[in-house]
Structure 1
Amino acid sequence: MGSRNQLLNALKRCLGMGRRQLSVGPHQVVLVTGCDSGLGHSLAVYCYRVLHMTVISCCHNLESQGAQLLQQMSSENERRRMHIWQLDLLEPESIVQLHAKLEQLLASTDCHLMALVNNAGVMCFGEFEWQLPAQIEHQLNCNLLGTMRLTRQLLPLLRQQRARIINVTSHCGFQALPALAPYAATKAALRVWNDALRIELQPHGMEVINFVPGSFVLESNIAARQQQQAQQQLEAFSAEQLAYYGSYFKVFHEYLSMLSGFKRPNQLQDEALLAKFKDALTNAQPKTLYIHEPWRYKVYRWLFKLTPTPLTDWLVLRFCAMPSFESAQRS
């Protein structure tokens, strides 16, 4: 009977049948990671102000501007629906403490855990030869292993509550881009892990969703430390690397200077993106993959699937539109 029901549900998904919205409100809890800025901050505000849910906003730094703005919201309502908790995905003890606080919150209220949104991530630009072992490991440890650590710790509770898991990945998980090799590797690994987890948790009545929000690096702080990271890379160069890459390295990071510096958290005003997130969060039978992208992304992603590798590589360079080694040598 179980296999038959699973087959029927799979057919319904394929045909787009039986799609109804789950009710949301103060009694439903959503836990979002990476809420200091960017997408995580925006999703926390959206779930709180628009969906009127109880929100656990996980911030790396409780003194950050984003955390402080969220803290101000927590006093807006008599029933406290905005909780700002510190979370360091690199520290197992931080994850254990968050788990204990979550269990306590659910036990002391009439709330139901509806979803875990794995959004937190870090990024470092630079060719693979430039990136330091610590920079590579930091991306792997936060984006991939940290997400796995948190999810594994919370899984028994998620299973008991039949909560869903929404994993925020990236277009880089489908098509790797130059200068983002470690970051793309983490997002591709998350995509594959997401698919395996989805199949594993289906028998327990749980949904696992891959949410690809598109690029808004200029509106987030994911690359806020890029110039410091570039300086570390430069200082680690050998004499041979400095002579070989010097002019290209300078042009490359001058181009990326616009990314550096911490920006004020702001709620993304992309209604289409938020509508897709709402469907991923509240649809009784959500899609397994949500992709939000401008037409330019759609065209390139379609071409990447069709073209032979040499042409795909050329298209990737056109898509990135970043300084190249050859152009720097000519200048």
Structure 2
Amino acid sequence: MRGSHLLRALKRTFGWGRRQLQVDKHNVILITGCDSGLGHSLAVYCHNALQMTVVSCCHNLQSEGAQLLRQMNSSKEPHRMHIWALDLLQAESIELVHEQLVKLLETHKDYQIMALVNNAGVMCFGDFEWQTPEQIELQINCNLLGTMRLTRQLLPLLRRQGGRIINVTSHCGLQALPSLAPYAASKAALRSWTDALRIELQPHGMEVVNFIPGSFVMASNIAARQQQQAQQMRENFTREQHDYYDGYFERFHGYLRILSGFKAPNQLRDEELLSKFKDALTNVQPWTIYIHEPWRYRIYRYLFWICPAPLVDWLTIRFCAMPTFEDSK
């Protein structure tokens, strides 16, 4: 038994026997966070390029992204794109998605669920002292606990059908960034949970993959409510915090104003990213982690790894390139 574990580990380490599975409309993929950004683009890619049956979970069924996905169904193939509501903060919503998925598989006996892609997430910029308890808890509840609840609900079905789990994490899970402390904490926890889950599920023939796609803040709505969040922070300041932080606070959120406002869903044209996602989805022996990043990210990540903590702190500030408290003095 131990020998077989060792052989499997060696195969994965050196990539022996890696090959791609063929996918078609009989393979079902469930993706969360499809209103915009990466989730929306992956749903389009899996539907159009891979010809899969896609369950696109959206937070708002009336969003522009949900409506665009709905239009992809044709009279010839009316059942390959499903748009379902999902609120990771609501247990009933998670249970309903499970019920709908079971019904879909029972209705189409030749369908098989191939993957759950946990992509949905929320983000709030601001120093930890500024963020309200509600903002902090929302990021932990959605990014980590909600993802865990959905996965736990679907896990028996995934196990029976040999499906895999792809968790979209973040560079923040590798190197925590200032002004994103709760978000980074949620993504670091998600990464550790992914690693543990991978080891647990290997004996059951299941794959669990950590997928780090790079930054999509400008191409998604993950920070669309940043100015509203800033107003909530400001309203919860004490008089002492106003006196101490107001100048820095205004400069910081003025810099981030470009992030606010809901953007039209963008279909990513990044072929390298989509190629990595396809490998994570269809390779018989996927890598445990896929990292998509520009050279700047790669260089910084290497420096973070080799440098002592004081230098890493300085490099992190340079990497973020955002207003700092010292600059506001």
Q: Partners of 1:263 and 1:17 in 2: how far apart?
A: 43
Question: 2:93 — aligned with what?
Answer: 94
Residue 136 of structure 2 is aligned to residue 123 of structure 1: no
Q: Secondary structure at the match of 1:240?
A: helix
Deviates more, 1:78-87 or 1:243-252: 78-87
CA drift of 1:8 comes to 1.5
CA drift of 1:5 comes to 2.8
Q: Partners of 1:97 and 1:116 in 2: how far apart?
A: 16
Question: 1:45 — aligned with what?
Answer: 44
RMSD between superposed Cα atoms in Å: 0.8
Q: Partners of 1:76 and 1:188 in 2: how far apart?
A: 44
Residue 249 of structure 2 is aligned to residue 254 of structure 1: no
Q: Could you report, residue by residue, the CA deviation over 1:50-74 in whole angstroms, capped at 9, with x for unpaired residues?
A: 0000000000000000000000012
Q: Partners of 1:55 and 1:4 in 2: how far apart?
A: 38
CA drift of 1:78 comes to 2.6
Question: 1:12 — aligned with what?
Answer: 11
How do 1:101-180 and structure 2 match up within 5 A?
A: 101-109=100-108, 110-180=110-180
Question: 1:234 — aligned with what?
Answer: 234
Q: Secondary structure at the match of 2:121?
A: coil
Question: 2:33 — aligned with what?
Answer: 34
Question: 2:303 — aligned with what?
Answer: 303
Q: In the superposition, relative to structure 1, how do residues 268 and 76 fare at CA in structure 2: closer, same or farther (>3 Å)?
A: farther
Q: TM-score, normalised by structure 2?
A: 0.98
Q: Partners of 2:266 and 2:37 in 1: how far apart?
A: 7
How do 1:59-70 and structure 2 match up within 5 A?
A: 59-70=58-69
1:222 maps to a residue whose letter is: I
Q: Structure 1: state its 5+ residue gaps.
A: none
Q: Secondary structure at the match of 2:273?
A: helix
CA drift of 1:129 comes to 0.2
CA drift of 1:216 comes to 1.6
Q: Could you report, residue by residue, the CA deviation over 1:265-298 in whole angstroms, capped at 9, with x for unpaired residues?
A: 0111111100000000000100000000000000
Q: TM-score, normalised by structure 1?
A: 0.98
Q: Could you report, residue by residue, the CA deviation over 1:223-258 in whole angstroms, capped at 9, with x for unpaired residues?
A: 000000001101111111001001100000000000
1:88 maps to a residue whose letter is: D
Q: Partners of 1:328 and 1:74 in 2: how far apart?
A: 52
TM superposition outliers: structure 1 runs of 4+ over 6 Å: none
Question: 2:54 — aligned with what?
Answer: 55
Q: Could you report, residue by residue, the CA deviation over 1:96-150 in whole angstroms, capped at 9, with x for unpaired residues?
A: 1110110111111110000000000000000000000000000010000000000
1:318 maps to a residue whose letter is: R
How do 1:278-317 and structure 2 match up within 5 A?
A: 278-317=278-317
Q: Partners of 2:266 and 2:315 in 1: how far apart?
A: 33
2:268 maps to a residue whose letter is: L
Deviates more, 1:72-81 or 1:143-152: 72-81
CA drift of 1:6 comes to 2.7
1:86 maps to a residue whose letter is: A
Deviates more, 1:7-16 or 1:215-224: 7-16
CA drift of 1:76 comes to 5.7
Question: 2:192 — aligned with what?
Answer: 192
Q: Partners of 2:80 and 2:200 in 1: how far apart?
A: 32
Q: Secondary structure at the match of 2:129?
A: coil
CA drift of 1:79 comes to 4.6
Deviates more, 1:7-16 or 1:283-292: 7-16
Q: Secondary structure at the match of 1:73?
A: coil
Q: Partners of 1:78 and 1:29 in 2: how far apart?
A: 14
Q: Secondary structure at the match of 1:55?
A: strand
The sequence identity of aligned pairs, in percent, is 71
Q: Structure 2: state its 5+ residue gaps.
A: none
CA drift of 1:13 comes to 1.2
Q: Partners of 1:89 and 1:326 in 2: how far apart?
A: 38
Q: Partners of 2:114 and 2:4 in 1: how far apart?
A: 23
Q: Secondary structure at the match of 1:323?
A: coil
